[in-house]
Amino acid sequence: LITNLPMKYNYLTIYFCTFRFYFTFSINFNSIIANIDNYKGNFGFLNNRKMHEDTMWVIDSMQVKTPSEKTMIQSLSGGNQQKVILGRWLLSAPDILMLDEPTRGIDVGAKYDIYKLIIDLATEGKTIIMVSSEMPELLGITDRIMVMSNGKVAGIVETKDTNQEEIMSLSAKYL
């Protein structure tokens, strides 16, 4: 039994549009708000230089297509909004990142960027737990797949040793 692990984790869901970001605020605000304590300087004032640097890191590393860090997030495409929010949580340097349908509703180009980022994070040793209903997504970027059926674990398979038929069969196991 392992307890009290000193790990940081974050959870990102597809429902970010409704409650995970501040729709009428800028990319800058949305990038740094989750880590606002990291930007406090002397006497509690915010360090604008550090906030700017971290916002630019989000824009550059997530390849957010925007004219400026001051752009309102509501004017970005869904994929670019998702990238900003993912960047926000990466600024907190989590050890474990839980992604719930991370690419639902975004264009193919943005999906590719997020897949690449997930793979890069895993290569760096981060733990990624991803929930997805897209079979190609699961087979394309995971190491293992836990299949649920009617609220129960139906099986855990190694991605390299499985196929769509086995996964679909497991998903119907407890129906």
Give per-residue pLDDT as tens, 104-145: 888 888 888 889 989 999 999 999 999 999 999 999 999 999
For the ranges 5-9, 65-69, 91-95, 143-147, which has the lowest average pLDDT? 5-9
- Name 9's bridge partners: 96
Give the Cα separation of 109 and 37 in Å (integer). Answer: 33
Helix (H) / strand (E) containing 57: helix 48-61
Over residues 13-51, the pLDDT tens digits come to 655 444 455 778 999 999 999 899 999 988 889 999 999
E strand segments, the chain: 9-13, 96-100, 127-131, 144-149, 152-158
Of 6, 9, 4, give the one whose Cα is nearest residue 98.
9
* Rounded Cα gap, residues 132 and 160, in angstroms: 17
pLDDT at 57 (0 to 100) = 96
